[in-house]
Chain A
Amino acid sequence: MPKSQQAPVKRRDFLKSAAMGAAALAAAPELADAKPAGATPGPRVAPISPEAEFGTPPALEVLTADRTGSDFMVDVIKSLGIAYVCANPGSAFRGLHESVINYGGNKDPEFITCCHEESSVAMAHGYAKIEGKPLAVFAHGTVGIQHAAMAIYNAYCDRVPVYILAGNILDATKRINAVEWVHSVQDAAAMVRDYLKWDDLPLSLPHFAESAVRAYKIAMTPPMMPVLLIADGELQENPIPNDLPLTIPKLALAAPPQGDSGAIAEAARLLVAAENPLIIADRAARTPVGLTRLIELAETVQAPVIDQMGRMNFPSRHPLNQTQRSRELVCGADVILGLECSDFWNALHSFRDQIHRTSLPLTKPGVKLISITAADLFSKSNYQDFQRFPQVDLDIAADAEATLPSLTESIKSQLTSDRKRALEDRRAQCAVARQESLERAREAAGYAWDASPISTARLCAELWAQIKDYDWSLVSFTTFVNRWPQRLWSFDKYHQYIGGHGGAGIGYGAPAAVGAALANRKYGRLSVNIQCDGDLMYAPGVLWTAAHHRIPLLTVMHNNRAYHQEVMQVQIMANRHSRGVDRAGIGTMLDDPAIDYSKLAQSMGLHAEGPITDPKDLGPAIRRALEVVKHGEPALIDAYTQPR
């Protein structure tokens, strides 16, 4: 046994013992000088003076320890198969930090240096959507969690597992200075609990082990969401007592919940009988298997699919992908199946934002609505991410991906030969419509083709030409570029798209892209990020993280030099008040001076070019950047673009 463990004196317990000894001495006179009955009781224990609390150390002070609580915590983290820890360094988890890089060998997990806790969590968000499981985030107590808060909310809304450990010093007598006081908190998780699935404050190492495994299991059970464990400083840094039995509980992930068999049979009956069925998929595919299952369902019933693109749900050029006809199909459908729709109501209504906000149903009378979503299984009150209440006819509280096989089988069992022939006709019509949609998209892309600033269609077409022959992965969401990638590119693999932010908290894009690229690295995939300028400016330090850790990522800036969504919002108000809109740029533009993103990226070690204003220069610049990325480095191209 190592010498330092022969006397398991805890680092902080040494101080505690010294303080208690001094306190006992200070209290002794009172015991000797007992007061008569009825007298006003005096203090039973005299206040502890700073001198007593931080008194002279004993002669045999133990200053080192071979194994501390944080080492065991790393053992637990390793047992969960967590490959990376994203963190901005903070003293509240210094024990864990040191244990990861030394005791744990900085491998599985490897420490990823982040410049902001929001980046740490958003990287975890993007990583999980590629890898299907969480990486860990370490966060400093109070301020670190506060920095992380918005990114946690995004992941919560997006139903993505993020595994967070935050430091804290709960015992007030162990806080060594003013900073530790202001960085300590009674209930550290409280500030983000509204958008966590679960949290805990383990009080012992066995407690930590159990809660750590439990937290992982909870995070990974649909609906998946972030979890938070508080790793108290004492628990991290004190030596592990010799007589403390430590084991790590076995992890068995919960099988995702499947829909009730009777409800599934009824859903199948409705879909088989429908003349104009429609499938709307939002976060339907959690894994590559989910994509395959949705294809099988759609082809079995030959129903058109509207992909809301919360995940990579459905191949973009599949004949049944009718996303570009969404309104027409919603209006004409007699049965609509919603799969993990984050806002089913909104998919079925129009909403008008004039002074009097109004909404109207798009669906025809008598339409049957079926919903399958795990969101029904977990709800909270305060934050309103549950959206408006959809009045469905058949509500199946279950994980869609897990439920699809039984639904497909039920449909197959109800299909007659005649019905199958009729469905084939529907598929043929969809195939024609799909091709027409593609032609229309190409025609639309031809407008402003040679414009400067560069049109978003041109940007996406130039990018597609360079990446299409690689095993590529688009790790940014496409709403702000008019979804040109889905309209022009061919998506058919799960890792080719990661969906959006979830909570619409801007600042997600760049770090989520880096996190997803980190997950893609081991597969040798080409990660591609179309990066909005406003989003990058929240925490651009994540570019340095990509460079420092050699994370290959091709970033092309969608640099419209504005918080453009907000330009339009201010314009709406100015129009409403008939005051003209020429001042809508005040407070909304990112210009004068224009931000030089290539220099910003270069300063952090990236290959970067730009700004590129002539669309003819974009393709060659992307090619040059691609050569850098192919060698395992990140690169950035700054393109001046149209607003949208």
Chain B
Amino acid sequence: MRILSPASANMPRSRTFGAGFFEASLALLCCATVALAFPVGNTQKGKLAFETHGCPQCHGNQGQGFSNAQTQAPRIGPTRLSQAAFVGFVRHPVGRMPSYPSQDISDGELADLYGFLQSLAPAVKADPASANAQNGKRLYMSDGCYECHGKEGQGSTQTGGSRIGPIQIPFSAFVAYIREPSAEMPPYSAKAVSDADLADIYAFLLTRSQSTPAKSIPLLNR
């Protein structure tokens, strides 16, 4: 007889770690403007903001994060959030992170900070600009990305797979997270998926369409 994983509110636990966080992130993502060219801000100013505002106290000097009962701060160097989601989370955090309103840290400073955090991603030996999106689509399926994120990258609250279509983080952050995910996602080592393959997958995700505006869909307004 077939038995599911332990239930968490009727969800399999092994796929629900951080689901609420993902949901919060998704909620912010869906409000975000599509930006296929990612603003990076001024990384030097961002480093200064990072230190000035006390981020290292919980997230470490390199944004590597600490997972202990006191801080529970995830790795943010780089962050897997889009810039819009990042700003939204800093303004309205979930969990133990304190809120940083705009009078404490401006949107401009946050843009710089975001750029600094993404610059902490390790160097990647591939360039999505010259990648093959068609091959990426094939890899997206064969490497099992669709299992949690959906075949269009639309995400799933049940699996915990966040929305990644269209992708809204820089390629280097994308690769860094896949290699060492801080939450529930299983890690993909370079042995399993090369940087070049990830570039193709990334290129495929860039081609995914935005949400059809809900207001234009009568079925979603009932």
Contact = CB atoms under 8 A, between A and B. Distances in A.
A461 to B, nearest CB: 4
B219 A571 contact: no
Interface stretch (A32-40, A136-144, A475-483, A623-631): A475-483
A327 B222 contact: no
Interface in B1-35: 1-21, 23-24, 26-27, 30-31
B75 to A, nearest CB: 13
B23 A327 contact: yes
Interface stretch (A172-180, A208-216, A346-354): A346-354
Contact of B7 (A331, A504, A564): A504
A477 B9 CA distance: 12
B214 A346 contact: no
A361 B71 CA distance: 11
Interface string B94-125: 11100000000000000000000000000000
A580 B183 CA distance: 20
A453 interface: yes
A241 B165 CA distance: 76
A383 B19 CA distance: 27
A150 interface: yes
B217 A362 contact: no
Q: SS class of chain B's interface: helix, strand, loop or mixed?
A: loop
Contacts of A565: 4-5, 12, 15
A443 interface: yes
Contact of B150 (A324, A448, A581, A584): A448
Interface string A569-608: 1011011101111101000000000000000000000000
Contacts of B9: 282, 308-309, 326, 343, 346-347
B67 A327 contact: no
B69 A447 contact: no
Contact of A444 (B96, B155, B165): B155
A342 interface: yes
Contacts of B127: none
Nearest to B183: A352
Nearest to A534: B2
A500 B12 CA distance: 13
Given A353-B13, A468-B222, A581-B143, A447 B1 contact: no
Interface string A322-339: 001111101100000000
B154 A564 contact: no
A308 B147 CA distance: 24
B158 A569 contact: no
Contact of B30 (A282, A331, A440, A575): A440
Contacts of A479: 10-11, 158
Contact of A449 (B7, B17, B150, B212): B212
A643 B26 CA distance: 18
A361 B96 CA distance: 11
B132 interface: no
A488 interface: yes
B220 A446 contact: yes
Interface string A445-471: 111111101010100011011001000
Given A447-B211, A582-B143, A643-B146, A572 B186 contact: yes
B61 interface: no
A499 B146 CA distance: 27
Nearest to A449: B212
B17 A343 contact: no
B161 to A, nearest CB: 8
A644 B150 contact: yes
A545 B95 CA distance: 49
B39 interface: no
B69 A361 contact: yes
Contact of A448 (B14, B151, B187, B217): B151
A572 B192 CA distance: 12
A349 to B, nearest CB: 9
A563 interface: yes
Contacts of A362: 95
Count chain B CB atoms within 10 A of each CB in A309, A451, A499, A643 and give the residue with the most: A643
B107 to A, nearest CB: 21
Contacts of B72: 360
A568 interface: yes
B97 to A, nearest CB: 9
A239 interface: no
A446 B15 CA distance: 23
B140 to A, nearest CB: 11
Interface in A291-315: 308-310
A642 B27 contact: no
A567 B147 contact: yes
A439 interface: yes
B184 interface: yes
A515 B58 CA distance: 53
9 contacts: A327-B23, A328-B20, A346-B13, A440-B30, A445-B214, A449-B217, A479-B158, A506-B1, A568-B148
Q: Which 3 A-B pairs have the closest CB atoms?
A: A327-B20, A575-B186, A446-B211
Interface of A: 150, 282, 308-310, 324-328, 330-331, 342-343, 346-347, 350-354, 358, 360-362, 364, 437, 439-440, 442-451, 453, 455, 457, 461-462, 464-465, 468, 477, 479-483, 488, 499-500, 503-507, 534, 538, 563-569, 571-572, 574-576, 578-582, 584, 642-644
Interface of B: 1-21, 23-24, 26-27, 30-31, 67, 69, 72, 94-96, 142-144, 146-148, 150-159, 163, 165, 183-184, 186-189, 191-193, 209-214, 217, 219-222
Given A327-B24, A440-B26, 9 more contacts: A444-B154, A446-B212, A446-B220, A448-B151, A504-B6, A574-B144, A575-B189, A643-B150, A644-B159
